[in-house]
A = this chain, B = another copy of it.
């Protein structure tokens, strides 16, 4: 079944809140999301800032210990302008590199959805009115966390949240560990384009129309968000500092290799040692996110 959902309220934390829609496993939802500062497709501010989330969506039958699979079919900017911070965050450079800039200087971008491009409108720099191809993604999504927690949509943890990973684009299936009945799925904070690390503190922030299918997986427990696309599988660790995020992602991949691909621990170590790829998803949020990735071509047959 396909649902068209138009939100009227938003949350700036992911927690055990009243569901806005109840769906069955296998259902598809087309939902609007607003930008990180609460502006919608028409340019109206409809929520406070801070990555306001659409949802939560309740999946019938989801229980703690299950896994929720989220397949993103389409992530489409729903307006023709986006913005981001223009200045690198102070923690990704030597301090002198940002000393002379104001703390908050925005860049604005014109988005041409048909042409699939973003063109810099301001500020004026020697880059000029540079144009880049879009690569839309969702910066923040997840389920209600464990322990009846409600965790800010500005950060991330085992439940997902603000991972700001450019690899969460259309075509990807994300996996999330269910902690509350119904899973309670949230999504928001779309970026039209973002590089590794989200080092400006934002991607090109824009409202989105997101189409995704929610599917329940019983008897497949996971500890951290995972994902999959046509060519790779990956696990995401969310923590500070980067070292810790990398540890979580690597250990989650070790579990996956032993759980599904018939490897013993030592075989999994050797495989990772020759083949692993890491991506720095974000290095600016309260929890950083590191992605541990394997090409499907190096994986043993699934068991």
| Chain A residues near B (Cβ < 8 Å) | 11-13, 15, 50, 84-88, 90-101, 103, 105, 107, 118, 120, 123, 125-127, 130, 132, 146-152, 193-197, 199-200, 204, 239-244, 246-248, 250-251, 254, 262-267, 269-280, 283, 286, 298, 300
Contact = CB atoms under 8 A, between A and B. Distances in A.
Contacts of A151: 149, 151
Contacts of A254: 88, 93, 97
B274 A204 contact: yes
17 contacts: A13-B148, A86-B266, A86-B270, A88-B273, A92-B247, A93-B254, A96-B103, A125-B264, A126-B267, A127-B267, A127-B270, A130-B271, A146-B152, A147-B152, A199-B272, A200-B269, A239-B286
A11 B50 CA distance: 27
Contact of A243 (B147, B149, B241, B276): B241
A251 B95 CA distance: 9
Contacts of A92: 246-247, 250
A195 B15 contact: no
Identical chains bound together, number? 4
Closest 9 CB pairs of A and B: A125-B267, A200-B273, A242-B242, A90-B95, A127-B267, A94-B251, A150-B150, A195-B276, A126-B267
Given A149-B150, A151-B151, A98 B95 contact: yes
Contacts of A270: 86, 107, 120, 125, 127, 130, 200
Interface SS of chain A: helix, strand, loop or mixed? Answer: mixed
Given A96-B103, A263-B127, A243 B242 contact: yes
Given A91-B95, A100-B265, 13 more contacts: A13-B148, A93-B251, A94-B251, A99-B99, A118-B274, A149-B149, A194-B274, A197-B246, A200-B269, A239-B240, A239-B286, A241-B242, A278-B279
Contacts of A86: 266, 269-270, 273
Contacts of A127: 263, 267, 270-271, 300
A303 to B, nearest CB: 10
A150 B152 contact: no
Contact of A246 (B11, B148, B280): B280
Q: Which residue of A86, A88, A132, A244 has the most chain B CB atoms within 10 A of its CB atom?
A: A88
Contacts of A244: 240-241
A208 B242 CA distance: 33
Nearest to A84: B273
Given A15-B150, A243-B242, A263-B125, A195 B273 contact: yes
Given A99-B103, A149-B152, A277 B195 contact: yes
Contacts of A283: 243, 246
Contacts of A95: 90-91, 95, 98
